[in-house]
Amino acid sequence: MPIADYNTYCKMLENAFENNFAYPAINVTSEITANAALAAFQELKSDGIIQVSTGGGKFASGTAVGDMVLGAISIAEHIHRAAEKLDINVALHTDHCPPNAVDTFMIPLIEESERRVAEGKLPLYQSHMLDASGLPLEENLDLSVPIYERMAKIGQIIEIEAGVVGGEEDGAAGSDDTPAESLYTTPEDMVRVYERMGEVDGKYMFAATFGNVHGTYKPGAVKLRPKLLKEGQDAIKARFGDDAKFWLVFHGGSGSDKADIHETLDYGVIKMNVDTDCQYAFSRAIADHFFSNYDKVLMIDGEVGDKKKGYDPRVYLKAAEVAMADRVKEACEDLRCVGKTLAGAAVA
């Protein structure tokens, strides 16, 4: 199916909210990693979100170019074409654009979508994340709201974050020494976010933090407080009425207990980023191939190796794609979105 349009994307997110599941948002850096995500969504009949960061875009453009916008455009164009061959809904998203990259990454991509919409096409990306969580809340919102207004005019959804996700992940705002109190968004902050974002006639996602940390950690090392999300949802309902709600995003989920993940789904999480675990699954398959086929990969002792089974990149990259797809499928199962595609359903 074609990439999800605005109405379909909103329907996807609302379906997740109403039915207590979430979409895995898979970070990709190449056609191969994008194909892994698409394969998993297709096999499990799950709609999904594929996303590109500034670093992912730069990598995708190649070492000779190193242009994060060009790389992000190239990946998106591939996914637009590949998704047409499938019978699921896919939305494209950019991840963690910091304030200092707004003018060099996010705005050029919005401009590309504005050009496409003017030609009668879908936006290139269906949503963008502006991560100004390192700024004081009012400065964060002063930056976010005008960009949100611009995006809403062409049918794009913005994602913002308040509070800091700890750890470090490809340009994310946090760091290993992030103060503990910054890892938790307060209900008061959530009320202010709802108030300011309500100035715009559009749709948005909100990454409220509740102890999240980027990267991989042993089970139990990350101290999540999912009930903060419920407290925030309750606070905006008390202030703005029963119809008030956030479409929430879960960052830094690697190493989280399944029980914590499932609890967040009851409080309005409709998107969970999955990056680190997919990187490991992809790399592990390549390492397995090289260790298991040492004599085929390398030309040793006067031999020539085995191109067909050893050092042809298609051999080990295919294995990596399959391994990453398996990890994406695990995420779909954890987030309870298996078999819940809206494809084929009428979207008003």
**Residues involved in catalysis:** 95
**Number of C-alpha atoms within 13 angstroms, CB side, residue 102?**
15
**Beta-ladder partners of 49:** 25, 91
Give dist(CA 164, CA 183) in Å, integer.
5
The amino acid sitting at 232 is G
**Number of C-alpha atoms within 13 angstroms, CB side, residue 164?**
19
Give dist(CA 287, CA 318) in Å, integer.
13
Chain-centroid distance, C-alpha 88? 17
DSSP classification of residue 106: I
Q: List, in sequence order, every beta strand (DSSP E) within 238-341.
A: 248-250, 269-274
Given a contact cutoff of 8 angstroms between Cβ atoms, the answer to whether 199 and 240 are in contact is no
